[in-house]
Structure 1
Amino acid sequence: MFVPAWDPTWGPQKRIYHLATPAFTNKNIPFWHRPTVLCENFKPVFITKKSLVQCAGSFFSGKYLGSAIVKTNPKSPEDQLLFVVDDEFTMEPTYFHPSSFIKHPNKYFSMSKNNGRLRIPFRDPHVMPNGKIAVVTGGRRWGTFGNICEVNIQGSVLSITRETILDNSMLRFGEIERPTFIDDLMFFSVMDGKPSILIAELSRSGLYSYVGEVRNSTGCYGPSINEDFQLLYWNKPSFTIGLSSRPGSNIVKKNGEWTLLRDALSTPDDFNLNVFKLFIDNRSK
């Protein structure tokens, strides 16, 4: 049985996690507004409360740092938030909702209001080499350019430490998604044009500058890299998780260019759709 899967991320002990949902029966609902489950190799492990639809996240220091859409009209720019939960998913998440404290339009976050309240994109968090957290924000749907800000979380307090980590060469995309970091490199995707994986590099200014596109990555989206230079991604439009079956790194640099070695992770033979749907139905309000 085929199950649509996307936004993979590396978890503890190099386990592979990803988002998934039952088959797309209603084509009028975009996939990012469907009941979405975080899975470990198609086994459901976590779902947000019913008032939210979860987006991508990542693991760090014994925690899972996730993001979610506040349910709203899909035609309106979404309001989004972050949450933190232990990486065993045994405790209640702590939520951080930026539109509750960012009240005025800001080109790095959002220019869009609905019923007098700012709608702020705030998703795809990932820890950077400096220990702070990169969060995707901005975007054409919110009346501005795609952006990545820097935040710090201490207990139940989130603070924005930099409005952007990008230089002008990066502030030109309609929407940036899924930044992932290793050394001085950032891999990411954008909503503009064909799906692929792009690269930026940390410059002397302390901001990330655009480098180019990873070769052989057309159709790939939403990367996640680990310390062994193993790059996860998902394939558009097939909704399959991509990784290499070869041992070691699946992204190599030759003649100054990065190249991706491609493969796919299939749905396990013992996958139980009824268990999957029950997991969704039993979530909290």
Structure 2
Amino acid sequence: MITLYEMGARDGLQNEPVMVPAAVKAELIDRLAQCGLQHIEAGSFVSPRWIPQMADSEAVFGLIKRQAGVTYSALTPNMQGFERAMAAGADEVAVFAAASEAFSQKNINCSIRESIQRFTQVCEAARDKNIPVRGYVSTVMGCPYQGKVPEADVVMAIEELLALGCYQVSLGDTIGVGTPRQVSQVLKTCLSVASPAQLAMHFHDTYGQALANLLSGLELDITTIDASVAGLGGCPYAKGASGNVATEDVIYMLHGMGMDTGVDLPQLVAVSHWICGQLECQNRAKVAQAMET
């Protein structure tokens, strides 16, 4: 069974230049849940100064029409964010770090290990409340500042996050530079310190490699995939970087391989076109373009 984490409402929208109303975000989340997606990242409780688009995450959580069996999660970088997420009713929280020392120093002025240790209090508070914590590690396949990222740094980040209590670590190809053989090698190394169930794949599609890279992970029995409806999103640190791999494209591939996702693809395509209409943007999902009526 494949597990999909839908990133469109958070990772997909956070870099949109025009503010998206909370009601539209909430409706997107509701429509995604109706398609059969059971893990939806619904918001980010970071400082509004850093990500203005996510400043209304409390309002979004308040507007969601919650569906049974669906987990609504949120990104929480610190205790203030965690407390806001709890007050809003998040079912799960996520913390994030980078595998690149240069990326970590450039963005938060500390080392990888130091950045992860900052989440200790969040993870302890989550454990006390029986709230699951998921970890993200970005720049796993390459960094816009330092280029290649040592596998040892990726492994260290995974070990640190698991030690803090993260049930799973999602490995991000943030700028989409990875290729299948590289991905296979990096993931094999990661599997030396984590089980397949403790790892997820979060691949951006900048160079059109994401589906092939996901297949490399599936062949290693890693069956948790992050994706974004309509391929929404991008990376502000990499010129031309596209969003996370499109959920529709992933599901089409998986269904074609005989794998069960529990997601209604035609219904998801309709949602994809709807949100692109709301944003007045081009739909990046190849499958959505092909199935457009």
TM-score normalised by L of structure 1: 0.36
Bigger fraction of residues in helix? 2
TM-score normalised by L of structure 2: 0.36
Larger RCO, structure (CA 8 Å, separation 6 or more): 2
Bigger fraction of residues in strand? 1
